[in-house]
């Protein structure tokens, strides 16, 4: 992680969190071109967000969704609890409907994709800092169309565990459930996602952002 000094008076202080160093560096360079924006910290893990935010007191945190240690949505919730004055803007490659819904529930003020033009991204930061909500319009429409996840918490857990492969017996051992219970949950998840098999159910759930988490 890197703390960056030199913030100008009255500038908006930013924390960037992204596990891809090149992406993080590019975002920092683009935002630093704006006279009223100052990057004061950069981290590459979700579990580094709150400690670094406490140290550098940013006004706005730009968080990626998929990071090691703690995913961006969980990091957003933790940051809002620890530093309520710090606004959160999710900036991610993965524009998935389920991610947007969960991010807003976690207290994020905005959600944009990484290919957003630099000027629009800077404007999104300013709007979030001003207390407004900023959401990528295409993703917002997709989220409304997709609705909430139809999966129960247990079905989600089973599909999440099944991503790494393994037999029904393997899943049962990992989750401390009977093989019959695992089969029932898999069958229900396949039906709810409109899939033909377990692999397709996982793919559908992932595309909708329903499997994020540990």
Percentage of residues in the chain having pLDDT higher than 70: 89
Does domain 153-207 fall into CATH 1.10.10.10? yes
CATH classification number, 2-145, choose in 3.40.190.10, 3.40.50.2300, 3.40.630.30, 3.10.20.310: 3.40.50.2300
Q: Could you give phi then psi for residue 150, rounded to 5 degrees?
A: -85, -5
HSE, side-chain direction, 13 A CA sphere, residue 113 = 11
DSSP state of 69: S
Averaged pLDDT, 10-34: 93
Express each pLDDT in 115-167 by its tens digit.
888 889 999 999 999 999 888 777 666 665 556 778 888 998 999 899 888 89
Cα torsion 118, 124, 79, 210: sign? negative
DSSP state of 48: G
Question: Which pLDDT band holds residue 95 (cuts at 50, 70, 90)?
Answer: low
Express each pLDDT in 39-69 by its tens digit.
999 999 999 999 999 999 999 999 999 899 9
Task: Please tell me the predicted confidence (pLDDT) of residue 3.
Answer: 47
CA dihedral 198, 200, 203, 209 (to 10 degrees): -80
Of 92, 26, 34, 25, the C-alpha closest to 62 is 92
Give the helix/strand (H/E) hosting 134: strand 134-135
Domain boundaries, the chain: 2-145, 153-207
Averaged pLDDT, 180-206: 88
* Cα–Cα distance measured from residue 5 to residue 147, given in angstroms and rounded to the nearest whole number: 43
What's the mean per-residue pLDDT of the chain?
87
């Amino acid at each position: 992680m890197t703390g960056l000094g030199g913030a100008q008076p009255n500038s908006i202080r930013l924390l960037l969190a992204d596990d891809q160093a090149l992406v993080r560096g590019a975002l920092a360079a683009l935002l630093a071109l704006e006279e009223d924006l100052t990057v004061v910290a950069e981290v590459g893990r979700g579990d580094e967000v709150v400690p670094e935010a406490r140290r550098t007191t940013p006004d706005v945190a730009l968080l990626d969704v998929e990071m090691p240690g703690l995913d961006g949505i969980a990091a957003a919730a933790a940051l809002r609890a620890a530093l309520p004055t710090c606004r959160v803007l999710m900036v991610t490659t993965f524009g998935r409907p389920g991610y947007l819904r969960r991010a807003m529930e976690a207290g994020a003020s905005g959600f944009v994709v990484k290919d957003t033009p630099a000027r629009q991204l800077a404007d999104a930061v300013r709007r979030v800092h001003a207390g407004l909500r900023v959401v990528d319009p295409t993703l917002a429409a997709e989220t409304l169309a997709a609705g909430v996840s139809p999966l129960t918490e247990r079905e989600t857990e089973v599909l999440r565990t099944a991503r790494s492969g393994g037999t029904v017996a393997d899943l049962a051992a990992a989750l401390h459930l009977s093989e019959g219970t695992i089969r029932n949950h898999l069958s229900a998840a396949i039906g709810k996602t409109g899939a033909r098999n377990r692999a397709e159910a996982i793919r559908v759930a992932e595309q909708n952002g329903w499997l994020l988490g540990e």
